[in-house]
Chain A
Amino acid sequence: MSGRSTPGNDFAARSWPMAVLIAAFALLPHLAEGLFSGAIRQILTTAFVFGFVAFAWNILSGYLGYLSLGDHLYFGLSAYLCAYLLSTHGISPFLSVVPAALLAAALAWSLARLVAGLRFRGTIFALVTLAVAEIGRVVITRIPAFKGEAGIYLQLANDPGNFLFTNPLVYYYVALGLLGLGGVLSLGAFHSDWGLQLRALRDEEVAARSLGVRIDLRLSQAAALSAAAFAIAGAFYGMSAFFVTPSTVLTIDIIVTVLIVCVVGGLGRVWGPLYGTLIVAAVQIGLNKVGLSSTTAATWGHMIYGVIIIAAVATGAVLRLPDNAFARLRSALSRPSPR
């Protein structure tokens, strides 16, 4: 199980199932045109973006085991920044997503630093991130330039330089690409020394720290990575919808969906977010087909998710059993470094 000997080959061997899946979804619009309605395209596009952030969130909350419940703030912050800069200053989101992601990462980093030294930090981290996201939601909603509850609307135009496309299929493919990127990130992180340290901290925190693994540093890094991914996804989401409002990009539903995706697929597993994405997309397509009125469907959908989360924790789909990460970290550290 060593990812250190021949990383290249191992990577290919481990990632081909996802590559096949992504290729299948890439061909879907062409092979099954009848099946591929507008509603299904939209559900899949959103599901892929959420799958992408779920991969990054899973590194923080699954591998390391610190649940972050406030990452929707970074999603919304970035969506707002990009939409605002484009609509008033004409700055391309390709440019503005970079500072947005850096800002998100810096915020998440400092929040993790604040919490990392405290007792009961698992609980504190989860609830404090949620509280900070709530602060951010209120503040962003009150910034006059962001137009409050009304939000910012973008001109419906075909403008590739500003990531605006009238053909929604473009967004579908970009979302699919993001999903693949998330998978590569997840796989790479899992088998790296860095990821091994995260998992060792989750399983045996005190013992891992005794080997010199710094919880504060790893928590900050993982939180920043997740935040940056949420920022990228937020920018994408705002552009693809052509508008941003607090109730679409700053809602707690975002983080709950990501949590559901991870928990259903298996929190802490490499491909957990991918399975979760497929299951959640299937549920949504199912609800769409049943054709309930949208609010009732949402209520029932949420109830189903609540039951699914409970069931997933109950059946142990959430991987928390020690997977010997600590023992492997110790042997990895005692082995002479190949570098």
Chain B
Amino acid sequence: MTTLTIVIGGLLIGIVYACIALGFSVSMWACRVTNFAHGHFVLIGAYVAYTMLGLGLPIYSALPFAGLITGILGMVVYRFLVQPFAPSDAGLQIALTLGVAILLENLLALVFGPDPISAGSAWSAATTVVLGEVRLSVSRLIAGGAGIVIIWGTWWLFERNRWGMAIEAAGENVAGAELTGYAGRRVLMLGFGLSTLLAGLAGVLLLPVANVSPYDAVDYTLRSFVVVLVAGQGNLRAILLTGLLVGLLQSGGAYLASTDMATVACYVLLLVALWVRRVRSGVTALGVSER
């Protein structure tokens, strides 16, 4: 494996991480919900794709299906669990979504078994393309390309479409959004559905690229948290860049040391980012600054 192969492969998977993190960012900044089960929605997407492949359907048909299922499931979780019981308190939200996460994780393990699954040749029989020195997996190329389209679509939604703006506005101020004629709470539900939909789509893209097991979900949640925290609030370009960086760390670290050391590198990045943020925020005499 040449260095370039690893770098490009890492960047391509980084785009998918950016998609997942984008979803986490939408729920965290726009809907003000800390969704601990975010990674589990990624896995639901992957397992929907796996089931459809098992039924003999092509993998691209899994994209709309997985998106629909994860999106609707997310809206159900938001409408019937988060909104009535933990609308604003971060601790309660984490406890609640942790409950959802444990339920989903073990449901997946019960239905599909605890062992990892993969579908390396889901997109095409030829799994790699060779460009001179560089060997690239077809699945990664497609995952990266589709990821870019998804990110662009989300950018368009939030920057150019009034519904995306409504979601952001409702997160900031529900009453204000309602004054402008939007059903604020329903808009937030849509926003949360969008965040889980992004996770589900990324899950479909991930299945041909990585081994997926029901117990991986927390890694995806934490990884997207790293991206979101390093990138900061609502900055789409920074999310994409940090996603790429995490992808690089992950594949470079896995090549140089091992997968778990690569994950450790990711989390160390998180600690460094926190430390930098703490230094820059200028801690006051009370030990707290609001910005």
Contacts and interface: CB of A to CB of B under 8 A. Distances in A.
A116 to B, nearest CB: 6
Contact of A209 (B81, B99, B267, B286): B286
B133 to A, nearest CB: 32
Interface in A259-287: 259, 263, 267
B264 A309 contact: no
B86 interface: yes
Interface string B154-187: 0000000000000000000000000000000000
A256 B215 CA distance: 14
A299 B286 contact: no
Among A216, A313, A316, chain B packs the most CB atoms within 10 A around the CB of A313
A303 B110 CA distance: 10
B281 A120 contact: no
A50 to B, nearest CB: 16
Interface stretch (B67-75, B222-230, B235-243): B222-230
Main secondary structure of the interface of B (DSSP, over half): helix
A65 interface: yes
Interface in B245-288: 260-261, 263-264, 267-268, 270-271, 274-275, 277-278, 281, 283, 286-288
Main secondary structure of the interface of A (DSSP, over half): helix
Interface in A34-53: none
A114 interface: yes
Contacts of B94: 67, 69, 122-123, 126
A303 B214 CA distance: 13
A299 B96 contact: no
A314 B81 contact: yes
Given A114-B278, A123-B34, A318-B92, A309 B222 contact: no
Interface in A304-323: 305-310, 313-314, 316, 318, 320
Given A209-B286, A310-B81, A120 B95 contact: no
B106 A131 contact: no
B34 A115 contact: no
B88 to A, nearest CB: 10
Interface stretch (A14-22, A24-32, A133-141, A159-167): A133-141
B129 interface: no
A216 B222 contact: no
A221 to B, nearest CB: 12
B280 to A, nearest CB: 11
B4 interface: no
B288 A303 contact: no
Contacts of A147: none
Given A119-B290, A309-B95, A313-B92, A299 B106 contact: yes
Given A214-B286, A259-B95, A306-B100, A135 B268 contact: yes
A114 B267 CA distance: 14
Given A123-B90, A131-B226, A303-B110, A314 B287 contact: no
A132 B99 contact: no
A258 to B, nearest CB: 12
Interface residues of B, number: 53
B142 interface: no
Contacts of A214: 286-287
B91 A65 contact: yes
Given A116-B287, A217-B287, A307-B103, A124 B274 contact: yes
B281 A307 contact: no
A59 interface: no
A321 B155 CA distance: 39
Given A127-B225, A138-B263, A118 B281 contact: yes
Interface of A: 61, 65-67, 69, 114-120, 122-124, 126-128, 130-132, 134-135, 138-139, 141-142, 209, 214-217, 252, 256, 259, 263, 267, 295, 299-300, 302-303, 305-310, 313-314, 316, 318, 320
17 contacts: A114-B274, A119-B291, A122-B90, A131-B270, A216-B286, A263-B99, A299-B109, A302-B106, A306-B103, A306-B104, A307-B99, A309-B95, A309-B99, A309-B102, A313-B81, A314-B81, A318-B95
Given A127-B34, A131-B271, 15 more contacts: A67-B90, A69-B94, A118-B278, A119-B290, A122-B34, A127-B225, A128-B274, A134-B222, A216-B287, A263-B95, A299-B110, A306-B102, A310-B96, A314-B81, A314-B84
User: Which 6 residue pairs are nearest across A and B when measured between Cβ atoms?
Assistant: A309-B99, A216-B287, A306-B103, A122-B90, A306-B102, A310-B99
Interface of B: 28, 34, 36, 81, 84-86, 89-92, 94-96, 98-107, 109-110, 114, 218, 221-222, 225-226, 229, 260-261, 263-264, 267-268, 270-271, 274-275, 277-278, 281, 283, 286-291
